[in-house]
Structure 1
């Protein structure tokens, strides 16, 4: 993972500290250790952000921020990745988690209605909740582990490729000087 690429899209901590809605998190935002971009902090941030994104809980961003603080990983990446489950993708992701949970519990999954309403959700909550919770946790753990592994491998590949390119440039420079 190129550090410069990630830094280009990172918010400025000073700007975030000045926002009134984030003043309660000013200590966390001003902690320089939560803004570091290393292989470990980025991989753990991907794990934390994707783990929290798969959980059907309110305030996923706050949970991800607290998790980033506990794991000492990159705060903005962790919080930003939660938005994979945004209002457009959330129904599909959570229905998929429910189906996975029903499969793990070996129970038949209910079909999604053609039109979801709050009444339908209220009537079916007791039936849906155990499978949704199990499927969400299973998906969150699997996705977090996979993301951590893939980020670490991609970071390592990028670093080794950069080393090889620099070594090649040095060899070419030496040849040009010797000729």
Structure 2
């Protein structure tokens, strides 16, 4: 079943409740709906987590957790999925987002060389920034929608398969 597969990869709720970056939510983390795993909470959590995975902001995990609390979906899934963009996957994902942004805005690709300094960052915000941010928002929305409906379909299939097996 999808539920058993997902539960196998989820971290312990107590570890997440006591995570240093999530302590700002205090008593809000006590809501039982944030920890239940059912079709509604799983599909919503996948949508939230995948959305924030593609948004290039610091503290993605905190934003995903806040949104999970707001929509009362599974918090561990939401917070964990933002790690889809990690130091290894960030460059290709964000470059792909930039390319999507250039297509959406109908702009030519601009060649750039990454430099780790403030001047490069300021210059890049003006040149490649708009395409990158629009592309990130488009990719985040698409990933969120695919995650939402993909989990819903997988969950329904596993329920139908389990019912068939019982018969």
Same fold (TM over 0.5): yes
Residue number in structure 1 paired with 2:33: 33
Does structure 1 retain, via aligned residues, the 8 Å contact 2:39–2:155?
yes
Cross-structure match for 1:132: 132
Contact 2:13 2:76 (8 Å CA) reproduced: no
Distance of aligned partners of 1:121 and 1:18 in 2 relative to their CA distance in 1, 3 Å threshold: closer
In our comparison, the structure showing a higher alpha carbon Rg is 1
Q: What do you get for the CA RMSD once the two structures are aligned?
A: 1.7
Pairs within 5 Å for 1:65-76: 65-76=65-76
- How much does 1:109 deviate? 1.1
State the match for 2:95 in structure 1: 95
Alpha-carbon separation, structure 1, partners of 2:163 and 2:16: 35
Q: In the alignment, is the contact (CA less than 8 A) between 1:94 and 1:132 conserved in 2?
A: yes
Aligned residue-pair number: 165
CA separation of 1:13 and 1:85: change in aligned 2, threshold 3 A? same
Q: Paired residue for 1:173?
A: none
In structure 2, the partner of 1:44 is 44
CA contact (8 A) 2:98 2:132 kept: yes
Calculate the TM-score normalised by the size of structure 2.
0.90
Cα gap change, 1:78/1:20 in structure 2, threshold over 3 Å: closer, same or farther? closer
Within 5 Å, give how 1:97-176 maps onto structure 2.
97-113=97-113, 116-119=114-117, 120-167=120-167
> Does structure 2 conserve the Cα–Cα contact (< 8 Å) formed by 1:43 and 1:152?
yes
Task: Say if 1:48 and 1:144, in contact at 8 Å, map to a contact too.
Answer: yes
1:13/1:29 contact within 8 Å kept: no
What stretches of structure 1 of length at least 5 have no aligned partner?
A: 168-179
- Closer/same/farther in 2, CA of residues 158 and 70 from structure 1, 3 Å limit: same
Q: For residues 11 and 107 of structure 2, what CA distance do their matches in structure 1 show? A: 45
Please report the TM-score for the alignment, with normalisation by the length of structure 1: 0.84
The structure-2 alpha-carbon separation of the partners of 1:22 and 1:48, relative to structure 1 and needing over 3 Å to count, comes to closer
Q: What whole-Å deviation, never above 9, does each CA across 1:54-103 have from its counterpart, x for those lacking one?
A: 00111111110011011111000001000000111111111110111011
Aligned-pair CA distance for 1:19: 5.1
Structure 1 CA distance for aligned equivalents of residues 23 and 136 of structure 2 = 31
Gaps of 5+ in 2: none
